[in-house]
Each structure stands twice: as C-alpha cells, then as structure tokens.
C-alpha cells in the first residue's frame, strides 16, 4: 500500500502566542515547533499498516526550509521518504492544491491528514484534497482498517460514531484513537539523516483570500471566589448574574 501523510509544522502546544508588530504573523523567536499532534497519529497509523502488509509512507509538507527538521522527525519515526513544497502555507486551499498536485502524479492508495492543525485550526485540507482529486474523503476518523482494497473507517459524529466503508483511493483525517503516536528511537534518528527529502516548487493557484491580521481575545475579568461552604451563592450567581442557568 502506498500512503501519503500530510504533515503540518506547528508551534508546540505549550506555546504562548504573540504576534509581530503588524499583527500579520506570529513572533517565532523562542517557539518550539512540532509535528501537528493529529498528523503524528495519522503517520503512526500509516506505519502500522505498511509494517503489517508492506508498502511505503511518504510525508509531505508545504513550508519553507525551517520545516525540514519536522520532516526529518517524521522520517525518524519511520516514514520512507519526504517531500517539501517550498512555499508559504498561506491558507488551506493553497496547501490542498499543492498536495493534490503531488498526489495526482504519484497515485497513492491512501492519503492521511490530521483532523485539523492546532495552529490555524482549519479542518479543510483533507476534504479539499479529496474534492480536487475527485475521490472520497472521510473526516475525523478514529479507527481505520484496511482489508484488501477496502477501507473501514469509524468517524466521529455528534453523539456517536458512523462506520463508513470505502474502496481505495481515499483521503481520511485522523483524530485520537486511530493510533498511539510513537517516539523515534536512535536507529530511526540515524537513518532519517540519509532518507530522501525532496524539495519541490509550488504550483500556481488562484488566490481566494488573504489574512488581514491577528488579534488576541480580551482577558477575563478577575475571578469571583465563592466560599466552599456557600455553594448556594454559586447557583444564585449563575442564575441572576451570569444568567446561564
């Protein structure tokens, strides 16, 4: 099975976000970057599948040279090879167009992404890639099993789950439960150095949007502490003051 896993390079989850003076990008100094946690789940599942029944796992990222370290980490975890489309990942439709272009020339059986990236929180890329390639996409998948050329997926829905069956090729976006992420071992880290990392130029796309700027939410006002012996006061405040019950 030939699998493509899309990797986002995102600030570590503990990062306190601040912005550059024009509010158009995040201030990157001191930020640790990681593989988007959901993408790591997708990568791990891809490796489990190919370890069981053979195949390759290619990882792809759209970004500048600073994301190479993140791709090397994916190689250290076990990916076969890596591709970086050398461009600013300005928005989901741009990124999806790059991935779809690469995938259309390399016929993958399965394309995996994370359910969303934890930086811009878009959950658009998987379904956009599916639409661009005119193949099915299944979103927010917590279990993915392959038998022959048929894939059975459990996707999350409000108040339950849905079991979907789909022949390859398809795109799926991973969420918790699909696999437990792995920590790369020393052998993996050593071998990652010599695995192929191909850098490609971006294809031209139409631009449908632009970022105006970022803004921070207003901080909350001071917490009102209520004595543990007077729980009634909390219920009263929620009713008369906050008006939420």
Partner 1 sequence: MNVLVYIETAEGKLKKSATEVLSYGKAIAKNSGGMLTALAIGDLAADEQSKAGRYGADKVLHVTNDKLKQFINQAFASVVAEAAKQSNTSVVVISNTFNGKAMAPRVAVKLKAGMVDGAVGLPDLNNGFKVRTSAFSGKAFADIELTSAIKVITVSPNSFKAEENQAAGTIEAFSPSVADSDFTAMVKEIVKASDKISLPEAEIVVSAGRGLKGPENWGMIEELATLLGAATACSKPVSDAHWRPHSEHVGQTGLAISPNLYIAIGISGAIQHLAGVSSSKTIVVINKDPEAPFFKAADYGIVGDAFEVIPKLIEEVKKFKAANG
Q: Which of residues 160-199 bind partner 1 (CB under 8 A)?
A: 160-167, 170, 175-177
Instruction: Rank residues 77 and 192 by Cβ distance to partner 1 and give the closer one.
Output: 77
Helix (H, G, I), strand (E, B) or coil at 244: coil
Window 217-236: residues binding partner 1 (CB under 8 A):
217, 220-221, 223-228, 231-232, 234-235
Compute how many other C-beta atoms are within 10 angstroms of the C-beta atom of residue 180: 11
Site for partner 1 (CB under 8 A): which residue of 82, 135, 146, 179? 135
Q: Does residue 37 interact with partner 1 by CB under 8 A?
A: yes
Q: Is 156 in the site for partner 1 (CB under 8 A)?
A: yes
- CA 134 – CA 104 distance, rounded (Å): 10
**Interatomic CA distance for residues 2 and 111, integer angstroms:** 9
- Looking at the Cβ atoms of 122 and 184, the one nearer to partner 1 is 122
Q: Using CB under 8 A, which of the segments 27-35, 76-84, 114-122, 195-203 binds partner 1?
A: 114-122
Residue of 59, 71, 95, 96 that binds partner 1 (CB under 8 A): 96
Task: Output the CA–CA distances (angstroms, integers) from residue 6 to 40, 159, 225, in the order listed.
Answer: 10, 28, 46
- Closest residue by Cα to residue 83 from 167, 171, 224, 199: 199
- Among 2, 109, 131, 191, contact with partner 1 (rule: CB under 8 A): 131
* 81 near partner 1, judged by CB under 8 A: no
Q: Is 127 helix (H, G, I), strand (E, B) or coil?
A: helix
Question: Does 128 interact with partner 1 (rule: CB under 8 A)?
Answer: yes
The tokens for 50 are 């190919």
Of 124, 105, 39, 89, whose CA–CA distance to 202 is shortest?
A: 89
Q: Which is nearer to partner 1, 103 or 197 (CB)?
A: 103
Query: Which residue of 137, 179, 192, 195 would you call a contact of partner 1, by CB under 8 A?
Result: 137
The residue (of 166 and 200) whose beta carbon lies closer to partner 1 is: 166
- Helices 37-53 & 68-77 angle (0-180, nearest 10): 40
* Using rule CB under 8 A, residue 31 touches partner 1: no
How many residues bind to partner 1 according to rule CB under 8 A? Answer: 83
Q: Which of 14, 29, 32, 107 binds partner 1 (CB under 8 A)?
A: 14
How many Cα atoms within 13 Å fall on the side-chain side of residue 42? 32
CA 182 to chain centre: 16
User: If binding is defined by CB under 8 A, does position 149 make contact with partner 1?
Assistant: no
């Amino acid at each position: 099975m030939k699998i493509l896993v899309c990797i986002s390079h995102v600030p570590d989850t503990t990062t306190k976000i601040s912005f550059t003076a024009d509010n158009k990008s995040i201030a990157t100094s001191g930020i640790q970057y990681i593989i988007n946690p959901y993408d790591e789940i997708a990568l791990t599942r891809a490796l489990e599948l190919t370890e069981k029944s053979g195949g390759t796992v290619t990882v792809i990222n759209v970004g500048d040279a600073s994301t190479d370290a993140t791709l090397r980490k994916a190689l250290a975890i076990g990916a076969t090879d890596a591709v970086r489309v050398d461009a600013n990942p300005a928005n989901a439709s741009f990124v999806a167009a790059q991935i779809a272009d690469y995938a259309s020339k390399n016929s993958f059986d399965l394309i995996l992404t994370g359910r969303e990236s934890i930086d811009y929180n878009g959950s658009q890329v998987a379904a956009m890639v599916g639409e661009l390639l005119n193949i099915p996409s299944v979103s927010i998948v917590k279990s993915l099993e392959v038998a022959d050329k048929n894939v059975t997926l459990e996707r999350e829905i409000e108040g339950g789950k849905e079991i979907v069956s789909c022949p390859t090729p398809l795109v799926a976006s991973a969420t918790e439960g699909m696999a437990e992420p792995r920590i790369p071992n020393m052998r993996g880290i050593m071998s990652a150095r010599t695995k192929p990392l191909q850098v490609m130029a971006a294809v031209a796309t139409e631009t449908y949007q632009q970022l105006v700027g970022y803004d921070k939410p207003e901080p909350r006002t001071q917490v009102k502490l209520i004595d543990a012996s007077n729980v009634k006061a909390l219920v009263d405040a929620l009713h008369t003051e906050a008006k939420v019950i």
